[in-house]
């Protein structure tokens, strides 16, 4: 008896997509409905407020906090996973049939799978299970949405499908803007009701995310895509079954999922292996690998380039003057050697590039060396070789590509620092203890270099040689290139530098302008937009469409005999715009606003400068190529052009550094406080690109910048990803809870002052984490840090507060910005900052000394805190005038409580005109301990508080100065100090006579070579000093 054949089952692919949509919406709406029904007030409550201020729940609270809605949601999501994986594969299948040569289908398949798995991560690992893991998968999901939506739109073939996907994707990403805004309002400013508004946009993201995938139903239906599941019986081939026609016959693709016969098993396996191998090899095309390798090598070069000056300046800050190591800066002048044809030929060649960059990359191992001088000796030749290799690449025929890669390298550098507490993870002076990822970076650099050495050699395209046409003067290329490198390095090497330029403090409990750790991602976003516009300006491989006509008044023979031909340019409109004098005016105006204004107006001006500089990159590179090519492709003026450009960079860098030179530095008096002149010169150096008289003649000789269409898509994708990642990093780094004092019960205030020597420890490494560890162990509520203005080339453009703020949750005032020409001072507070004012203390003959005057809300009482750094002993008049001003500031707040944390440079009890008597007597404050005669730099003064302890802790390896800590108790609200007599204030005690809350950590007892923590221990007195409260104190 012959068994009846099993008929195949045919499923419409559109039905699978619809099933996915229905299940996804049911999962979320059921969780929302059940949650509101059973636990409404619980799921709308958050860390800031509850019902009725908050009245709509967030997605996380709805799906992850309570039974049974969480469990029902997870079960339905599990049912959704099958259609979800099928949808991802069906899209891949359809896209490969429509564009078999494209890399998008395989790439989107991988992204889709990762996106689905990450969805499972944040669904099944809730925020209450593990907050960090939940956030990681949520961030990964959001990042995957970028290529998933962009790739889906680009791969859509139907106009209706593409239009709908574009609309939904646009609304999705636009919703992120208010989402982030209200999240910051909730998380940072703690505004009741903000989280409800945030929740609406969070739910809208869910709605649009599912809706985007739902559009696949229409795409599958239009393609008549079907899934056929059946069994091939004995004696019947698959061709005998009645399947729908193949895509080649009907242009309507089907999928045949059949069990293979024994006879065809081998062939099927072969085909399967070939298919899998083709898919794997097609995941990352060679062109994409080459592009990523070039960007990464650009990032590595800029890492070393930006590490040179901080590595050598370590010696300058220890010498407080010219140390001699500054000559290492001359390593950047190696492009002068490209003037020799033999060196140029070697450096441009593939072999030369590999050799030079290989030798340069060895400096990534410098982090293994303990001594700063050894690291400098490795970094210096590496920068020389790297500069030579990079400058040689700028002469290549693909000038447009090299220009964009150069810009991308800077953005990657800024993003890496933004994600790593403003430290470049590959810097030689950053190791694993200070946040380095040196080994990982070295491995990736080796892989990128291997890809460079093995990639197919592309023959240069033939170019039309126009003879007898004016070549731009080499100086017109050298000046803009040098200024471009300097400007990006000075202003954009770290995304929060522009914020520091505009920062001015707090008013009425809120910051007046952008916060460095919250808003600096906007700088990266604007950089990406500027570079995207620059790339668009050279779209379709041309920036100028050039036609050649015969000279007027003659015949063709005359033209052939050597007469000049007229070259007529029709510029790309965008390129014409960014190369116009009007756009240059925009750049100059933005620089003026950045320098002259504070807060948001100043920062917006800084964003304008960032946009301008990114747009300038292809214009500058185009001029460089034009100035170094004569009669077609013959090199000319190469060494002097590129070498002079780096001379301009070095001179501007030195001038910028000398704007804050010590008073006793030779020549410092001519540059000190003249950032305005440096800014004028650096912008004026761009002027040759926009000079009116001969622009058309010069532009006609500049070669077109060429970037292939495939590479253009890679660049846009990378810019989009970096923009999104910068925002995600900012959100991820925000503290999970508002700042809280360590000991609110007994109303204790612990305040410390520390001069941290520009963030370099005694071994030349970044000291942020070492500072954080001591601050954390001492449980400081208020911290004054001095010598902290690191937003300069000499210090690597770092933010010394970032680790402490993001790891420990402090309110921060970073003090006067780098355009105020001070050493810098910082205030960190666990208490809300009500108002703060920055002061530039009088300095007729020396450098400016900074001060922060802040009013803190301490347990409901306003307390004035002053953090200041007086001038050095070389100028007594400076110190006298500065002390007089500080005394005036403290006296003006009398009788309110005051804490002074500062660097004074005086002996205790020193008479006028020395600072001690001026500040104590005129400021109406008390010394923390008038019997401590072993002081010179750091002092703590106070008023209106009960002092209960005083500690001096050795510096360890962090800096050259100790930390001093004062512990105070705030009188009960509405009362004041009951007895300010010397006897009442100096009732000394053993720690056992006070409550345990007043004790300092026991682990820090010790001495040199024994005890203590990380080299820190109580010194001078070998223990903290303790004091009893007056008997009638009301606390």
- Determine the longest span between alpha carbons in the chain, in angstroms: 120
User: CA distances (Å), 133 to each of 119, 138, 139, 722, 736, in order?
Assistant: 12, 9, 10, 22, 14
Q: Name residue, tokens 């001699």.
A: 324
Domains and CATH numbers, the chain: 9-223 (no CATH), 226-283 (no CATH), 286-457+473-543+567-731 (1.20.1250.20), 748-1027 (3.60.10.10)
| Tens digits of residue pLDDT in 313-344 | 888 776 665 656 778 888 999 999 998 888 88
Angstrom distance (rounded) from CA 831 to CA 855: 10
Edge-to-edge strand ranges of the sheet holding 254-258: 9-12, 226-230, 254-258
Integer CA distances (angstroms), 625 to 173, 429, 639, in order: 39, 35, 12
For residues 740 and 7, what is the distance between their CA atoms, to the nearest angstrom? 70
List, in order, residues 6 or more apart from 452 with CB less than 8 Å away: 290, 293, 294, 297, 350, 353, 354, 357
3-state secondary structure of 753: strand
Residue 278, pLDDT score: 44
Q: Which stretches of 156-250 are DSSP H helices? A: 159-187, 194-214, 216-223, 247-250
Among 181-190, 576-585, 768-777, the range scoring the smallest mean pLDDT is 181-190
* Each residue's pLDDT tens digit, 792-801: 898 999 999 9
What are φ and ψ of residue 858, in 5° steps? -100, 105
For residue 732, count CB atoms less than 10 angstroms from its CB and return exposed for 0-12, middle for 13-18, buried for 19 or more: middle
Neighbours of 274 (CB within 10 A): 10
What percent of the chain is predicted at pLDDT more than 70? 85
Strand, coil or helix: 71: helix
Q: Compute the CA torsion angle 760, 764, 769, 773 (nearest 10 deg).
A: -90
Nearest to 380 by CA among 442, 343, 428: 428
Q: pLDDT band for 245, please (50, 70, 90 cuts).
A: very low
Q: Which of these ranges, 145-149, 598-602, 1027-1031, has the smallest mean pLDDT?
A: 145-149
Q: Which two tokens stand for residue 99?
A: 């564009």
| Each residue's pLDDT tens digit, 67-118 | 887 788 888 888 888 888 888 888 888 777 766 555 667 777 888 888 888 8
Which tokens is 933 given? 């005669």
Q: What is the pLDDT of residue 323?
A: 59
Q: Which helix (H) or strand (E) holds 785?
A: strand 782-786
Distance CA 532, CA 715 (A): 8
Where in the sequence numbering do the catalytic residues fall? Answer: 869
pLDDT tens-place string over residues 504-515: 999 999 999 999
Residue partners of 221: CB distance under 8 A and separation at least 6: 12, 14
Nearest Cα to 497, choosing from 488, 507, 505, 506? Answer: 488
> Which residues neighbour 892 within 8 Å (Cβ) at sequence distance 6 or greater?
none
Q: Which helix (H) or strand (E) segment is 389 a member of? A: helix 372-393
Residue where the block lists tokens 């034009």: 626
Mean pLDDT of the chain: 82
> From the CB of residue 580, how many other CB atoms can be counted at a distance below 10 Å?
14
pLDDT at 666: 64
Instruction: With residue 911 as reference, give the H or E element that holds it.
Output: none
- The answer to whether residue 926 scores a pLDDT higher than 90 is yes
Q: Note the pLDDT of residue 256.
A: 42
* Confidence at residue 269, expressed as pLDDT on a 0 to 100 scale: 42
Locus of tokens 């003659």:
554
pLDDT at residue number 541:
36
CB 715 within 8 A of CB 707: yes
Q: How many CB atoms lie within 10 A of CB 512?
A: 16
The 3-class secondary structure across 32-56, one letter per residue, is HHHHHHHHHHHHHCCCCCCCCCCCC
Q: Cα separation of 882 and 749, whole Å?
A: 27
- What is the pLDDT confidence band of residue 460, given thresholds at 50, 70 and 90? low
Give yes or no for residue 902 having a pLDDT over 90.
yes
Q: Average pLDDT in the 252-267 region?
A: 39
Residue 898: burial class (beta carbons within 10 Å; 0-12, 13-18, 19+)? buried
pLDDT of residue 462: 46
Q: Which of 2-6, 608-612, 974-978 has the lowest mean pLDDT?
A: 2-6
Q: How many CB atoms lie within 10 A of CB 700?
A: 18
With a pLDDT cut of 90, the percent of the chain lying above it is 39
Query: In the predicted model, is pLDDT for residue 605 greater than 90?
Result: yes
* Helices 131-155 & 104-124 angle (0-180, nearest 10): 150
Handedness of CA 676, 678, 680, 683 (dihedral sign): negative
Q: What is the pLDDT of residues 466-512, one digit of tens each?
A: 444 567 888 989 999 999 999 999 999 999 999 999 999 999 999 99
Q: How many whole angstroms separate alpha carbon 757 and alpha carbon 762?
A: 9
How confident is the model at residue 130, as a pLDDT? 72
Least Cα distance to 623 among 679, 569, 528, 695 occurs for 695
User: b vs e for 464-484, b when ≥16 Cβ sit within 10 Å of the residue's Cβ?
Assistant: eebeeeebbebbbbbbbbbbb
Q: Which residues, 6+ apart, have CB-to-CB distance to 385 below 8 Å?
A: 334, 356, 357, 359, 360
Top-confidence residue, 154 or 939? 939
H or E stretch at 751: strand 748-755
- How many helices (DSSP H) and strands (DSSP E) are in the chain? 35, 25
Three-state DSSP state, 578: helix
- How are beta strands 629-630 and 634-635 bridged, if at all? antiparallel
pLDDT tens digits for range 525-581: 999 999 999 998 887 534 334 443 444 444 433 333 333 334 444 457 888 888 889
Average pLDDT over residues 729-737: 83
Q: What digits encode the pLDDT tens for the residues 848-901?
A: 789 999 999 999 999 999 999 987 777 788 889 999 999 999 999 999 999 999
Compute the CA torsion angle 540, 542, 546, 547 (nearest 10 deg).
-30
Ranges of H-type helices in 782-940: 802-808, 876-892, 915-917, 923
Round to whole Å and give the CA distance between 925 and 380. 50
What distance in Å separates the CA atoms of residue 716 and residue 97, rounded to the nearest whole number?
A: 25
* β-bridge mates for residue 766, sequence order: 760
d(CA 619, CA 199): 45
Looking only at the bridges linking them, the beta strands covering 861-869 and 898-903 are: parallel
Task: State the helix-helix crossing angle for 372-393 and 286-319, rounded to 10 degrees.
Answer: 140
Bigger pLDDT: 222 vs 860: 860
Of 829, 831, 943, the closest CA to residue 887 belongs to 943
């Amino acid at each position: 008896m012959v068994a009846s054949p099993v008929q195949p089952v045919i499923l419409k692919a559109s039905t699978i997509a619809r099933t996915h949509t229905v299940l996804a919406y049911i999962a979320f709406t059921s969780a929302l409905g059940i949650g509101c029904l059973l636990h409404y007030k619980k799921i709308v409550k958050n860390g800031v407020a509850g019902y009725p201020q908050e009245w709509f729940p967030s997605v996380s609270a709805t799906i992850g906090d309570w039974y049974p809605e969480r469990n029902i949601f997870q079960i339905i999501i599990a049912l959704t996973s099958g259609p979800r994986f099928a949808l991802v594969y069906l899209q891949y299948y359809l896209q490969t049939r429509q564009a078999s040569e494209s890399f998008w289908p395989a790439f989107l398949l991988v992204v889709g799978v990762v996106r689905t798995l990450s969805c499972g991560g944040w669904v099944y690992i809730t925020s209450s299970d593990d907050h960090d893991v939940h956030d990681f998968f949520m961030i990964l999901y959001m990042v995957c949405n970028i290529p998933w939506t962009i790739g889906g739109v680009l791969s859509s073939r139907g106009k209706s499908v593409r239009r709908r996907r574009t609309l939904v994707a646009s609304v999705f990403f636009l919703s992120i803007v208010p989402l982030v805004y209200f999240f910051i309002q909730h998380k940072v400013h703690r505004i009741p009701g903000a989280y409800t508004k945030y929740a609406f946009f969070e739910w809208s993201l869910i709605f649009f995310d599912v809706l985007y995938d739902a559009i696949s139903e229409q795409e599958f239906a239009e393609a008549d895509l079907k899934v056929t599941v059946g069994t091939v019986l004995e004696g019947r081939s698959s061709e005998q079954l009645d399947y729908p026609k193949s895509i080649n016959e009907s242009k309507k693709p089907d999928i045949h999922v059949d069990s293979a016969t024994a006879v065809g098993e081998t062939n099927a396996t072969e085909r399967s292996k070939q298919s899998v191998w083709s898919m794997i090899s097609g995941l990352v095309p060679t062109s994409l690998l080459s592009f990523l390798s070039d960007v990464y090598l650009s990032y590595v070069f800029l890492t070393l380039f930006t590490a040179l000056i901080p590595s050598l300046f370590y010696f300058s800050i220890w010498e407080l003057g010219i140390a001699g190591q500054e000559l290492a800066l001359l390593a950047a002048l190696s492009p002068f050697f490209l003037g020799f044809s033999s060196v140029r030929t070697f450096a441009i060649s593939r072999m030369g590039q590999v050799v030079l960059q290989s030798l340069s990359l060895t400096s990534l191992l410098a982090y293994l060396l303990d001594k700063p001088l050894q690291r400098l000796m490795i970094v210096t030749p590496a920068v020389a070789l790297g500069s030579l290799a990079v400058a040689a690449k700028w002469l290549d025929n693909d000038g447009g590509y090299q220009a964009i890669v150069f810009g991308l390298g800077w953005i990657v550098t800024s993003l890496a620092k933004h994600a790593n507490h403003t430290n470049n993870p590959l810097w030689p002076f950053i190791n694993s203890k200070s946040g380095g990822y040196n080994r990982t970076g070295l491995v990736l650099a080796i892989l990128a270099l291997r890809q460079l050495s093995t990639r197919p050699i592309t023959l240069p395209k033939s170019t039309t040689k126009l003879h007898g046409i004016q070549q731009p003067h080499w100086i017109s290329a050298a000046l803009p290139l040098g200024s471009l490198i300097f400007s990006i390095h000075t202003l954009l090497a770290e995304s929060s530098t522009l914020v520091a330029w505009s920062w001015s403090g707090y008013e009425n409990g809120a910051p007046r302008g952008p916060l460095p750790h919250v808003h600096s991602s906007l700088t990266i976003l604007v950089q990406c937009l500027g570079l995207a516009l620059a790339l668009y300006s050279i779209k379709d491989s041309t920036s100028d469409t050039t036609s050649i006509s015969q000279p007027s008044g003659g015949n063709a023979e005359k033209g052939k005999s050597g007469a000049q031909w007229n070259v007529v340019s029709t510029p790309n409109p965008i390129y014409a715009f960014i190369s116009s004098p009007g756009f240059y005016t925009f750049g100059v105006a933005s620089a003026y606003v950045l320098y002259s204004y504070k807060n948001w107006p100043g920062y917006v001006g800084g964003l304008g400068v960032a946009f301008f500089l990114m747009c300038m990159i292809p214009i500058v590179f185009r001029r460089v190529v034009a100035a170094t090519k004569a009669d077609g492709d013959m090199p000319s003026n190469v060494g002097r052009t590129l070498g002079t450009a780096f001379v301009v960079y070095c001179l501007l860098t030195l001038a910028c550094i000398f704007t804050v030179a010590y008073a006793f530095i030779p020549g410092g008096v001519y540059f000190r406080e003249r950032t305005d002149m440096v800014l004028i010169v650096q912008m004026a150096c761009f002027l040759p690109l926009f000079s009116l008289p001969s622009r058309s003649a010069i532009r006609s000789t500049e070669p077109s910048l060429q970037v292939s269409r495939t590479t253009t898509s890679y660049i846009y994708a990378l810019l989009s990803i970096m923009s999104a990642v910068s925002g995600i990093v900012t959100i991820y780094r925000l503290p999970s809870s508002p700042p809280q004092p360590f000991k609110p019960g007994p109303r204790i205030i612990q305040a410390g002052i520390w001069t941290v020597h520009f963030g370099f420890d005694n071994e030349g490494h970044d000291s942020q984490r070492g500072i954080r560890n001591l601050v954390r162990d001492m449980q400081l509520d208020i911290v004054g840090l001095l010598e902290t203005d690191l937003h300069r080339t000499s210090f690597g453009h770092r933010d010394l507060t970032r680790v402490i703020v993001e790891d420990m949750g402090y309110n921060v005032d970073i003090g006067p910005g780098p355009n105020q020409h001070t050493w810098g001072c910082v205030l960190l507070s666990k208490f809300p900052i009500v108002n703060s004012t920055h002061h530039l203390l009088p300095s007729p003959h020396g450098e400016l000394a900074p001060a922060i005057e802040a009013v803190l809300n301490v347990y409901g009482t306003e307390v004035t805190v002053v953090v200041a750094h007086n001038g050095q002993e070389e100028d007594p008049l400076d110190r006298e005038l500065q002390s007089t001003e500080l005394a005036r500031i403290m006296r003006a707040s009398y009788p309110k409580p005051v804490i002074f944390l500062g660097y004074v440079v005086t002996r205790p009890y020193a008479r006028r005109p020395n600072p001690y008597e001026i500040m104590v007597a005129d400021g109406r404050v008390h010394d923390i301990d008038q019997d401590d005669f072993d002081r010179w730099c750091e002092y703590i003064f106070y008023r209106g508080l009960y002092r209960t302890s005083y500690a001096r802790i050795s510096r360890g390896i962090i800096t050259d100065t100790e930390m001093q800590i004062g512990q105070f108790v705030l009188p009960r609200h509405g009362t004041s100090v009951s007895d300010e007599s010397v006897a009442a204030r100096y009732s000394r005690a053993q720690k056992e006579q006070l409550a345990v809350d007043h004790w300092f950590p026991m682990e820090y007892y010790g001495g040199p070579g024994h005890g203590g923590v990380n080299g820190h221990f109580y010194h001078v007195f070998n223990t903290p000093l303790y004091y009893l409260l007056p008997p009638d104190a009301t606390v």
